[in-house]
Amino acid sequence: MGKVYVFDHPLIQHKLTIIRDKETGTKEFRELVDEVATLMAFEITRDMPLQDVQVQTPVCEANAKTLAGKKLGVVPILRAGIGMVDGILNLIPAAKVGHVGLYRDPETLTPVEYYVKLPSDVEERDFIVVDPMLATGGSAVEAIHSLKKRGATSIKFMCLVAAPEGVEVMKEIHPDVDIYIAALDEKLNEKGYIVPGLGDAGDRLFGTK
């Protein structure tokens, strides 16, 4: 069963409060999403495997460590996921970036796929799928289906705010995918928005409303 990690780091919680505030403008919203993504990436990469190496310091030869294991791929769910990519690349600049384009049909709330482009060596990478919001779970479930269909076998999902409904759906449909969340909120409202949430993440990131 996929594990669910809710980050309680004070910096993440503080920044998320400003992100939630409806008075926070696009520029600050975007900067803070970027910063929180970096902080979350720091936590999410805690289990990366290391290998022993020798390094020649100015003083002597030393036993040291470097990253080992599979290469990373970051996959934002368009559009809002784009806001989290640079924050992750700050820490892992060698990661490749794929894209899955989905939007929620406003009537049915079901995801509609319009774009997929992934690194060519999908089977060989560990993926982090990112989206600020996990609401009904439809978009995340569909994006992860899309990756698996193309050969991905190792996937984590990272979001800022999740509704319990979305977490349950993910655990049921993708039990192999661990979920990393900055805040687990109360519920969804009748329009499928997370309560209390932060509103429409895409619109707030890109200033489209």
- Residue 137 within binding range of ligand PRP, rule CB under 6 A: yes
How near is the Cβ of 197 to ligand URA at its closest, in Å?
A: 4
How near is the Cβ of 193 to ligand URA at its closest, in Å?
A: 4
SS3 letters across the chain: CCCEEECCCHHHHHHHHHHHCCCCCHHHHHHHHHHHHHHHHHHHHHHCCEEEEEEECCCCEEEEEEECCCEEEEEEEECHHHHHHHHHHCCCCCCEECEEEEEECCCCCCEEEEEEECCCCHHHEEEEEECCEECCCHHHHHHHHHHHHCCCCEEEEEEEEECHHHHHHHHHHCCCCEEEEEEECCEECCCCCEECCCCCHHHHHHCCC
- Residue 83 within binding range of ligand PRP, rule CB under 6 A: no
Q: Please identify, using beta-carbon distances, which residue of 133 and 152 lies nearer to ligand URA.
A: 133
Q: Strand pairing of 178-184 and 133-134? A: unpaired
Q: Which of 16, 84, 88, 135 binds ligand PRP (CB under 6 A)?
A: 135
Q: Please identify, using beta-carbon distances, which residue of 70 and 145 lies nearer to ligand PRP.
A: 145
Catalytic residue among 20, 24, 38, 104: 104
User: Residues annotated in the binding site, as ranges?
Assistant: 79, 104, 131-139, 194, 199-201
Let me know if 104 is a catalytic residue. yes
Q: Which of 16, 44, 77, 167 binds ligand PRP (CB under 6 A)?
A: 77
Let me know if 34 is a catalytic residue. no
Catalytic residue among 17, 21, 108, 150: 108
Let me know if 21 is a catalytic residue. no
CB atoms within 10 A of CB 206: 16
Q: Which of 32, 80, 147, 183 binds ligand PRP (CB under 6 A)?
A: 80
Residues that bind ligand URA (CB under 6 A): 133, 135, 192-194, 197, 200-202
User: Residues annotated in the binding site for uracil, as ranges?
Assistant: 194, 199-201
- Residue 146 within binding range of ligand PRP, rule CB under 6 A: no
Let me know if 203 is a catalytic residue. yes
- Residue 85 within binding range of ligand PRP, rule CB under 6 A: no
- Residue 130 within binding range of ligand PRP, rule CB under 6 A: no
Question: Which residues, at least 6 apart from 187, have a Cβ–Cβ distance to it below 8 Å?
Answer: 163, 164, 165, 194, 195
